[in-house]
Amino acid sequence: MTFNTRLKQLRQKHRLTQSELADLLGLKPTAISNYESKRNEPSFEKLIALSKYFDVSCDYLLGLSEAYLPIGGEVLDKDIVEFFNLYKQLNQNSAKEVRSYAKYILYRQEHPEDFN
């Protein structure tokens, strides 16, 4: 998928008009339209600003990756990030339960014959 398509999808997903997004980034109202129609490309500075605003990697915006966020040298998708954020909110006992349950699910996945 190309940059212009990704940008338009993200903008629409966040329910922003082209003008609203341009205002948020300090751009002229026509800038986003020009990006989405491939008439112009953003500077590195604006690409980074878009990446930060939409909370996605520049690689994702540029169509180089299907994953959203780079974390610790590895690219993680939104589901993993969401799970991690939920996990961080758990107290020690609840976190232990989640780890135990995940190990159980993994065992079931690896040994389906034990559950027939």
Residue 2 pLDDT grade (very low, low, confident, very high; cuts 50, 70, 90): confident
- pLDDT, mean of residues 23-49: 93
State the DSSP H helix or E strand holding residue 69, giving kind and residue range, or none if neither: strand 69-71
Contact 23, 17 (CB under 8 A): no
Residues 6+ apart with CB under 8 A from 62: 3, 6, 47
Of 35, 2, 38, 32, nearest to 18 by C-alpha is 32
Does the predicted model carry a pTM greater than 0.85?
no
Please give the pLDDT value at position 34: 95
Is-contact 65 79, C-beta < 8 A? no
In DSSP notation, 16-49 reads --HHHHHHHHT--HHHHHHHHTTS----HHHHHH
Average pLDDT over residues 25-33: 92
Cα distance between residue 48 and residue 59, in whole Å:
10
Q: Which two tokens stand for residue 44?
A: 């590195």
Instruction: Tell me the per-residue pLDDT of 40-89, one tens digit each, with 9 for 90 and over.
Output: 999 999 999 999 998 888 888 888 876 655 555 555 567 777 787 788 88
Mean per-residue pLDDT, 94-104:
94
